[in-house]
Structure 1
């Protein structure tokens, strides 16, 4: 079925991979296997290895660990994840009025709209990585800064390296840059001096950067033979800042993506102005949905994830499908037939002060049964570790303007993310308030909790009553 409000499918790009979510989706939805087989044909031809073997067997990969493999692996994994999520949504009758891709995600957005086959989309993705790998021009990095784009451009001008560039404007207070490692480190250092957060992204290359200009014609030549079909669904490009048209030569447009910046914030604001209100992420982690809520009023956007795991380890896609397919709104007559008499009783009781007749729901159990019911153990109220980690991760990410995926178990909060002790105390105070935890004990040493995982362990232990948390 198609949601009543105008809906956008969001296709994420760099860093958007969650191996655990993909494996769970693969076990539950046959469409995932079909997509992986199409991608495998290209991976075997160009790289001599099936991508499915890496994603479904052995170590469960995430956005960081997948970068230990050759660069093509992460790129095809992200594309496959995007297309697998879309295939499941499509098979269940979920449709969108427009598609939007972020960077690499534009390839999946176009494929999902019918412009290319799944295998051809995999070939575009693979060649995109292969031409950079072969040329050796990808020595560089990408980082997200918690600053507006105009301030970031001033810092770039100050550093004076022509290969530094704004790669993406994600929302008014987050800008992504790309460029040579040493120059990028200087920008991050300047940002630190003005108390602006900065974190490196999980990307193998400095995309959307002039350093890749020599590869544009080569990439276009590699993918030029692919057959382009008319679009079945409008696709809005955050890079071109317009809808694609059937007169566009898409292989040429995609090759220019190497050097052109992404204005995701502008794309979301434009779609919102055109009355789009539902944003469904077709891919991993749910980061784009969070960016949507930083660009438009929360009350005017409904965001749903797909290949993301909730605090209980459940796949967000399944809840999304249940919600879209299972919601029925009763008519006034049906509602009154079911609940009218009970509402009359409740109103009469409110006006007269007399107790209302017991209704069919929420009636108390007999006293004997209540007495016999055992008290729930206190431990049952303690959330599991993964749920606590999810809450702490979201709290830290929103406060620091960092992507959630950077908060891995072993990431060093100060040494790697630049979160000083004052900010760490403030963040712990937020978590303390959220859970209603007691203040810190005498002798508490913040330095003992230098990684994200140690902070989560501290919070979880405190919830079990084993120690006290910084307040």
Structure 2
């Protein structure tokens, strides 16, 4: 019988009020929150139980201003949801985490306590803050090989593909000077580039000194072998003993995360047929849909809710969720980079022959006129609902696209790019923070502003 794997997201595993119902009814959830809050207090960080039990708590963008607190909140969310699965006799056969979600998986497997996992996260943020490590992460809508080529073409010392999330989603880390150059080059080539909610170049050797400091300050922590099997994307193999746990802690700041390789390994060679996501939003579920055959069961948080009780019920029920497929470029879209095809026998990528296409104005679809605000908002609602398989009514005016509806920032950007093409609107300036446009009315307002700018520019000419 196929096994079940439980997945733990990293930084994005937070939603305001996600644990309100669970904390009020599940003793183990309350205990976990107390342990993590205790660690937070010892490091001068505000408790995470407050935003996790308050539906009106800060949005993820606001909580990200205190990275330690956001990491702790993601840890608490994953552990709380998994604790409820355990209480119902469904702990999963294998645990797997993404980025800092690996620490969540290790704690859920009993390799270290929730309190110590929280302390690891606090120690790493101290080490990062004390060093000169400014930078970040940018998600590119291309595969790993092309991302590596792009980093090489841009040059510099810090740029490196660091998280391999899907066949056509690679996250590059880099310092504050070089990452903007990568983003500029990507956009010039028609490659979607989305800056993520972090201020350090995670999973990059430039953080070696911070990693050494974390290893030193956590050396006395009590570690053990897992009580539930754990597969580490960072190590590229199962975690079998305390020494493996130590390797994950010591190397999680500097080593890349091959999520694609890990879940494909679990499915193809370790007989995993179902993947459950223990988090408030279906982040890994969306990535897994691009990596695995369609017959694999992908069970994640249902659309339109971040209520922990409803999420646990959905995971226990085990009904696969509908996840949005990758958006396929069509004629007239901004150019999208595709990976060269693989030879089925050798597995080696071969570059396709060069093809020259003559593009004239008559060969491109005519752009539509931008409608008035109310009609534009209705169009956005239909577009997002159709693309994501959600009912239109979940897209209320105040629904946060990421925190409430679980729409990854990369997916939101893909949909926006299609809308900009449809109405022949200019690309937003690079300095614009797309994560601030987190509801449909805000996206509609952005499109209207871009239209005004384009009209003004036309008038000047």
- TM-score normalised to structure 1 length: 0.69
Corresponding position of 2:71: 75
| 3-state SS in 1 of match to 2:264 | helix
Question: Is structure 2 residue 143 aligned with structure 1 residue 156?
Answer: no
The alpha-carbon distance between structure 1 residues 194 and 125, as it changes in their structure 2 partners (threshold 3 A), is same
- Secondary structure at the residue paired with 1:95? coil
CA contact (8 A) 2:143 2:168 kept: yes
Instruction: Mark the CA change 1:98 to 1:393 in structure 2 (over 3 Å): closer, same or farther.
Output: same
Q: What does residue 314 of structure 2 align with?
A: 320
1:219 maps to which residue?
214
Match of 1:310 in 2: 303
SS at match of 1:177: strand
Work out whether 1:405 is the aligned partner of 2:402: yes
Q: Is the 8 A contact 1:201 1:406 kept in 2?
A: no
CA deviation map 1:366-390 (0-9, x unaligned): xxxxxxxxxxxxxxxxxx9999697
> The residue matched to 1:49 in structure 2 has which SS?
coil
Are positions 1:236 and 2:199 aligned together? Answer: no
Separation of aligned partners in 1, 2:380 and 2:307: 11
Counterpart residue number, 1:454: 441
d(CA) in 2 for partners of 1:312, 1:388: 19
**CA positional deviation for 1:446:** 6.8
Look up the match of 1:56.
53
Q: Structure 2 matches for 1:85-100, cutoff 5 A?
A: 85-100=81-96
Relative to structure 1, the CA distance from residue 32 to residue 456 in structure 2 (aligned partners, 3 Å threshold; closer, same or farther) is farther
Are the structure 2 counterparts of residues 264 and 216 from structure 1 closer, same or farther at C-alpha, using a change threshold of 3 Å?
A: same
- Cα distance in 2 for residues equivalent to 1:389 and 1:419: 8
Determine whether 1:277 maps to 2:273: yes
Aligned-pair distance for 1:118? 1.5
2:62 to 62, 65, 79: 65
2:247 is aligned with 1:260: no
CA contact (8 A) 2:234 2:248 kept: no
| Aligned: 1:141 with 2:136 | yes
Structure 2 vs 1, CA of residues 275 and 199 (structure 1 numbering), >3 Å: closer, same or farther?
Answer: same
**Cα deviation code 1:107-142 (max 9, x no counterpart):** 111111111112111111221222212x13331111
The structure 1 segments of at least 4 consecutive aligned residues displaced by more than 4 Å after TM superposition are: 312-316, 384-390, 406-409, 416-421, 444-447, 449-452, 455-458
CA RMSD of aligned residues (A): 3.6
Q: 1:288 aligns with which of 275, 284, 287?
A: 284
| Alignment correspondent of 1:17 | 14
Query: Is the CA contact (8 Å cut-off) linking 1:143 and 1:198 kept in structure 2?
Result: yes
**Residue 17 of structure 2 aligns to a residue in which SS?**
helix
Counterpart Cα distance in 2 of 1:201 and 1:49: 23
State the shift of 1:56 in Å.
Answer: 3.2
Evaluate the alpha carbon distance shift between residue 298 and residue 185 of structure 1 in structure 2; reply closer, same or farther with a 3 A threshold.
same
Cα deviation, residue 82, structure 1: 1.2
How far apart, in 1, do the equivalents of 2:242 and 2:180 lie?
A: 41
**2-structure distance, mates of 1:174, 1:292:** 11
State the alpha-carbon separation in 2 of the partners of residues 59 and 136 from structure 1: 34
Distance across 2 between alignment mates of 1:57 and 1:311: 17
TM-score, normalised by the number of residues in structure 2: 0.70
Map of 1:201 onto structure 2: 196
1:36 aligns with 2:33: yes
C-alpha separation between the residues in 2 aligned to 1:407 and 1:310?
8
Aligned to 1:432: none
Matches of 2:49 and 2:379, distance apart in 1? 30
Over 3 Å counting, the alpha-carbon distance change for 1:390 and 1:86 in structure 2 is farther
Higher helix share: 1
Q: Is contact 1:145–1:197 with CA below 8 Å preserved after alignment?
A: yes
Is the aligned partner of 1:178 residue 2:165? Answer: no
1:25 deviates by 3.8
Displacement of 1:285 in angstroms is: 1.0
Q: Is the 8 A contact 2:124 2:211 kept in 1?
A: no
Contact 2:402-2:409 within 8 A present in 1 as well: no
Contact 1:228 1:250 in 2 (8 A): yes
Consecutive unaligned residues of structure 1, counting only runs of 5 or more, are: 326-383, 397-403, 429-443, 459-471
The change in CA–CA distance for 1:21 and 1:387 in structure 2 (over 3 A counts) is farther
Give the number of the structure whose alpha-carbon radius of gyration is greater: 1
Aligned-pair CA distance for 1:42: 0.6
